[in-house]
């Protein structure tokens, strides 16, 4: 699956997001005060797309990416991936038995000395224009006309 065009442009804006593994261990995400359905779930996408989606969603607190054997879910062979975009605080990571690969990352806002200016619209960062310079002064008044004799 390829990243949608609108998302490819937004990913470059995510430079202000820092990703941390809670507890520094591989595994799934354990949620503080777990609430049912406090996440969005996406299947068969790559981890980088999972991370990008979490990065641009302001409500996302972190993501869990898991790869499992498809034979656990059906009679087919191969692997499937699952991406969970969490909206509740993540406490720590925990082992996920039966998974081939599992990671959990918490989204943190990186500190920037000078945050970028602009707004995101339709997946693009539009730079906020600098204030316009003051208008030029008005032209000097024409000299008074001399009246004749």
Q: How far apart are CA 104 and CA 25, in angstroms?
A: 8
Indicate whether 3 pLDDT > 50.
Answer: no
Q: For the purposes of burial, counting CB atoms within 10 Å of the CB of 52, is it exposed (0-12), middle (13-18) or buried (19 or more)?
A: buried
User: pLDDT tens across 102-130, in order?
Assistant: 999 999 976 544 444 444 444 444 444 55
Confidence of residue 6 (pLDDT cuts 50, 70, 90): very low
Pairing of strands 62-69, 119-121: unpaired
DSSP E strands in the chain: the ranges are: 17-20, 28-31, 39-43, 62-69, 79-86, 90-94, 99-109, 119-121, 124-126
Interval 34-91: pLDDT, tens: 666 689 999 999 999 999 999 999 999 999 999 998 765 555 668 899 999 999 999 9
For 21, the token pair is 């593994």
């Amino acid at each position: 699956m390829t990243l949608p065009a609108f998302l490819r442009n937004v990913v470059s804006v995510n430079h202000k997001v820092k990703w941390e593994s809670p507890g520094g261990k591989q595994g799934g995400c354990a949620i503080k005060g777990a609430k049912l359905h406090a996440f969005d779930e996406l299947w068969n996408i790559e981890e980088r797309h999972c991370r990008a989606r979490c990065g641009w969603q302001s409500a996302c607190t972190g993501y869990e990416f898991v790869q499992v054997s498809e034979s656990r879910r059906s009679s087919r062979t191969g692997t499937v991936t699952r991406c969970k975009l969490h909206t509740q605080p993540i406490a720590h990571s925990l082992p996920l038995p039966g998974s081939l690969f599992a990671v959990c990352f918490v989204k943190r806002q990186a500190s920037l000395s000078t945050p970028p200016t602009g707004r995101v619209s339709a997946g693009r960062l539009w730079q906020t224009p600098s204030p316009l310079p003051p208008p030029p002064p008005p032209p000097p008044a024409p000299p008074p006309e001399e009246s004749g004799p």
